[in-house]
Amino acid sequence: MTKRGATLSTSEVRRDAVVDAAIAEFARSGYHGTPINNVATKAAISPAYVFKLFPGKIALFVAALDRCYELVERALSAGAARVDGAGPDEILYAMGGAYAELIADKSLLMLQVHAQSAADIPEIADAVRRGLARVTDFAKARSGAEDSAVQRFMAYGQLCHLITTLELDGHDSAWAAILTGGMRHPKAH
């Protein structure tokens, strides 16, 4: 991810590469199960350089989570732009479709799931709250929907997480059909 119109220094480029690698690695094995060495290897730099860019594993995880929520907001914005001028319900629906497309690549989804499981670490809990606030505030402001509609939108997002992580689409049972009814999920990869 580059900043628009800016030339990035080598350390900024590497920082972005480390955050991207962190998303992939933390999504795979969570905060507790991911050594910094794995992130460094994925980013093709030394563990010492990772620690030069980030003061510790918590800071790296939080940076990955912040990037995740930035990407979620971008996806919601793109979804809303597809139905520019529509009413609040249509905008939320389009945002939901864009989010479903985004989490078809399970990395961002699993990072969020792992973040919730590590929310006993105050900095991670703060990052999750900050990210949820960002997404909720954006959905509210961009759609113009009532609070109850935004709450349903966020709740459906959590249901999307459950459906996607457990691969419930097409699961042959009545209870799964109830949970997945009316939900849109591109095939996860």
CATH number for position 62: 1.10.357.10
- Please identify which residue in the block is written with the tokens 């914005």: 77
Residue 5 has pLDDT above 80, yes or no: no
Domain that holds residue 138: 10-180
CA distance 181 to 174: 10
Would you say residue 162 lies in a domain? yes
% of the chain residues with pLDDT over 70: 92
- Please identify which residue in the block is written with the tokens 């940076």: 63
CA distance 189 to 182: 21
Residue 54 has pLDDT above 50, yes or no: yes
pLDDT range class, residue 88, cuts 50, 70, 90: very high
CA distance 183 to 106: 17
Q: Average pLDDT in the 33-53 region? A: 96
CA distance 179 to 168: 8
Please tell me the predicted confidence (pLDDT) of residue 70: 97
Q: Average pLDDT in the 131-138 region? A: 98
Would you say residue 70 lies in a domain? yes
Residue 12 has pLDDT above 90, yes or no: no
Across the chain, what does the average pLDDT equal?
Answer: 91
Number of folded domains that form the chain: 1
Higher pLDDT, 131 or 9: 131
Would you say residue 174 lies in a domain? yes
User: Is 121:58 a contact under the CB 8 Å cutoff?
Assistant: yes
Would you say residue 145 lies in a domain? yes
CA distance 47 to 50: 5
Residue 7 has pLDDT above 60, yes or no: no
Q: Average pLDDT in the 145-150 region? A: 98
Would you say residue 187 lies in a domain? no
pLDDT range class, residue 9, cuts 50, 70, 90: low
Q: Average pLDDT in the 117-140 region? A: 98
Would you say residue 96 lies in a domain? yes
Would you say residue 188 lies in a domain? no
Both tokens assigned to 64: 């990955």
What does pTM read for this prediction?
Answer: 0.89
Q: Average pLDDT in the 108-113 region? A: 95
Please tell me the predicted confidence (pLDDT) of residue 189: 47
Would you say residue 44 lies in a domain? yes
